[in-house]
Amino acid sequence: MVSHALGTDLDVIAITDHDTLAGIESARKAALGTRLRIVPGVEISTLYHGRECHILAYAFEEVSVLDKLLSEQKTRRVERARNIIQKLNAMGFNISYDEVLGEAGRASIGRPHIARVMIKKGYAADPQEVFIRYLGNESSAYHKIDYPDAADVIEKIHLAGGIAILAHPGNSYNFIEIKELKDFGLDGLECYHSSHTSAHKRRYLTYCQSHGLIATGGSDFHGTVQDYYQFGVLHIPLESDSPLLRNSSNGARDQTETYSQTLCK
């Protein structure tokens, strides 16, 4: 991932895998001696009014504050994966937990890994079919996780010295809900995202500017061949004194930099 970032005009990236910090240190080591700065990050699954809500944590320093939370998230994800596999097996699909774990590797195990196994075994043509028919929130093999409350996670991110950002809001939140999240301590919005339209981007940039929130962006790059077209296409101007650069590797710079948040595995 670092080599691909160096092949573009990116100066700063953030590693924000789901519910794990596993990729940050290896990325920092790979970036040593290069122009690339690595911002520590993680995307944390939470619940907001009973529905799944993803909160990005950036620039944190006290990793120990997040360790217990992320360890509990890992347990929740494993339990969900086993429940989903059990349901799929009952429906006649021959899928094992070890196969799904092999797809996940070091990443937090999730539904996309189950989808990949199903596609490889010829049970579906693509991830969209798997999620519509089996793994989506309203589908037959879905299993809900009781994630921690969004307000509690935002508080923990701040205790770790980090910045809390609402991930890929799209059409999922209205401004009343965003204001409530801001009242909980939310620091910003992911205005730029590979799933956002230009209208989404303008809407959230305007809101950030008028409400003193930080605007970030993300490619939602997951390391698969299909994702590479997304990598490095979002460029967000970032001043050298931005709070997002706190605790990033490779030291401070004087000039305006280009920032791109990526999800890598």
β-strand pairing of 51-58 with 12-15: unpaired
Question: Quick one: tokens of 42?
Answer: 């993680």
Give per-residue pLDDT as tens, 99-123. 999 998 888 899 999 999 999 999 9
Q: What percent of the chain has pLDDT over 90?
A: 56
Helices 63-90 + 97-104 axis angle, to 10: 140
pLDDT at 252: 35
* 32 vs 84, higher pLDDT: 84
Using 50, 70 and 90 to split pLDDT, how confident is the model at 264?
very low
Q: How much is the pLDDT for 35?
A: 84
196 or 97, greater pLDDT: 97
Residue 117 backbone dihedrals phi, psi, to 5 degrees: -65, -45
The second-level CATH assignment, the architecture, of 79-135 is Orthogonal Bundle (1.10)
Candidate CATH numbers 2.40.70.10, 3.50.50.60, 3.20.20.140, 3.40.50.720; the one for domain 2-70+148-262: 3.20.20.140
CA distance 123 to 239: 48
pTM metric for this prediction? 0.83
Asked if pLDDT for residue 126 goes beyond 50, the answer is: yes
Please report, for the chain, the start and end positions of each structural domain, with discontinuous segments joined by +: 2-70+148-262, 79-135
- For residue 150, give both structure tokens: 């969004």
